[in-house]
Structure 1
């Protein structure tokens, strides 16, 4: 099982990294591509699962930072898939290699991350305050993108653009703030679901196989 986990983690890291590089290099506007949250989240996945692969090879225990990054990867990939599929997929066309990288970045990697969590990751009893830690980067990304647009007029997504009407912008700063609040709420909901699913898996496991005191200590995240 550990060998299969290692192979799967290496594949996730490799596919993510190669897809990010190719998607940027073959973009008609590479600098704009680097501002996309899809690129950031997939790069996070590539780094996280590269570190995880190294950890498995060296037989080291999962440290809190890597655990944090894996949980962020699950939530960010879910948002990447949902946002693209329901809001952005009709907004542009891809050609050549970017047809493939668009598929891997928005669908293949998010699905692989979820499969990995179900099959290989240790489930833990997280406190709900962890949600605040998991959503820090997306909120920071939105705020920085908004303030940067004040100076150069560029916004990575239409829902962060206060100028113009849909599909180019949302018309006002109040609508941008509303968009950020809505997306933050989505991240919070996904964080709740992640915690609840962890608790559900632990409940089912403990019901079928009551844990020892030592096991209970290992699954509790303080």
Structure 2
């Protein structure tokens, strides 16, 4: 039986009342992550890519499985997505690699207009005091992929003046925007190139250099 079939059966067995609690949903998706992941691969991924990459766990769940879980959550929620908006920060708090990826899918595909929420504000309020650049990039790219506008110049500036992790969020968001041919104000870029990057973080360093190249 395929992993998708096993996952669909597992999710189909869950009671409808489950969707009234973001905490219960967090428990169920954690049970769903390992479906279809061979035990040896899962253990290897957890050992090599968990704590060393800044995650509490990394099971190696394929992207298509995570997208299937996200689709199930959104479909079952229907028009009442309040619980899923509450699930996003909870997933960031638990901070598994799969949690971060699933939260990115939810953030990008929930109806933010109907909820009266800005996905960028939700993202900034959900992240922890320190985050691997890859975790931030996951959400940023997914939100852009879903067709959302980039963060406003005002929001980028506020992030630059906020927590260090928010300044990194601003830097990576601007990088992704520039790469997708979205313009960033020159005054914002001037602030972004002053963002402090941890010693030895070559990814953030390269991103800052790329953003700096956008200065006229």
Work out whether the TM-score is over 0.5: no
Which of the pair has more CA radius of gyration? 1
Which structure is richer in relative contact order (CA contacts within 8 A, separation 6 or more)?
1
The TM-score, its normalising length taken from structure 1, stands at 0.26
More helix by share: 1
